[in-house]
Structure 1
Amino acid sequence: MKQSFAISAEVRTMHGKGASRRLRREGKVPAIIYGGTENPQAIQVSANELMKSLKHEAFYSAILNVEIAGKAEKAVLKDLHRHPVRNDVMHMDLQRVLANVLLRMHIPLHFKGGDVAPGVKTGGGIVEHQQIQVEVECLPKDLPEFIEVDLSELNLNDAVHLSQLSLGEGVQFVELVRGNDISVAAVHLPRLPTEEELAEDAAKAAAATPAAVGKAKAAAKAPAPAAATKAAPAKKK
């Protein structure tokens, strides 16, 4: 059964970088909801509640129930702006969805059976995940939470393509519509380093050796720290 997510939002009246900084200090995340038949609306949501939802993979591809000032709307997460160091959410973009209008979303791939694939178990190969998510187009009611990829029958040098994956009725891959039957996973032998890569590693090691020797020589020449001496006890008179 699909997970459902609710977002409680407030109308945001303050705008600009300074106002956004104040909101974040108050534990709020500035956001915007747009699309559908209404104008874009600036909103703000609780940072703590949002972070709890973001821990669930399904949140990124689910139809969200957004309540703004007592009004319920359906939307999907379209973009997150994060702090480059702290990873805090700086801003969020939501897009309204309409029941009768197709939407495009990136859906995560769930891989299974890689450990028992003949190419891995007896062929000595490894699984390469070439895609971790794919873009689909469908009505909101048909939006899948994830797409399963079965790797259990793959032999060495086999691959799984989009056209081999099962989708629910009314769902299609955007890349297939464009004529691109891309592969999402493959089994192949581990890649050995090339002669150029081996030569580059050897050159780096040789360049690092003189520096290491120089440090060792400098440490050997440095005077030893003076030993601590105990004060002689005072003679009794």
Structure 2
Amino acid sequence: MNPWLEVFGWVGSILVVWSLTQARVLRFRWLNFVGAVIATAYNAIIEIWPFFAMNLAIAVIDAYWLWRLHRTRHDEATYEVVEVQPDDAYLLHVLRTYADDIAGFSPGFVAEAAPGEPRTAFLVQKGDETVGVVEIADQGDGTGVVLLDWVSKRFRDFTPGEFVYRASGVFTGKPFTRLVTAPGQHDRRYLERVGFRAEGGQWVRELAPAASAS
């Protein structure tokens, strides 16, 4: 057998196996799809038809789910933003469960608000699954500080937190006229996507235009 053809087949197998180690839904589907396509071509070349058919079926299934995932990625009907009290028992359970992961997003974040600290908290839901949490502290003068904008690892490629800022209208009736990021939040691509701009070493998003548009 041509050694390069054998390497080609091994690449497909490695990608399929590697995909199974991925926690992120989108990354899993892409790796699995590419691996299955390679395996399909490889098995067609060496004429092993049962494995050709199996990998072709896997590739088709992955293609369907990739289409569906990308189609609903920014779909307001897919995700729901639910406001909860900062001391809500379920919210604190989520924050404790994912404390280590959350520390990577916002190193200085403290789950329980200090006495008298005004906070606003939102859960981002996909069906009955909590996929994100956003917490904002009232700094006064209409400024809200984004203390936490966290997304679970499975949905990290989808940035569902965008619905808190863009599509949910959850700031209607709130005292905030602008949002600023807390120290340590520097994901430029995400922040720009949801309407923040760099200003004086932090990221700022005005809320007045959004309120009037809604």
TM-score, scaled to structure 1 = 0.19
Greater Rg over alpha carbons, structure: 1
TM-score, scaled to structure 2 = 0.20
The structure with the greater share of residues assigned to helix is 2
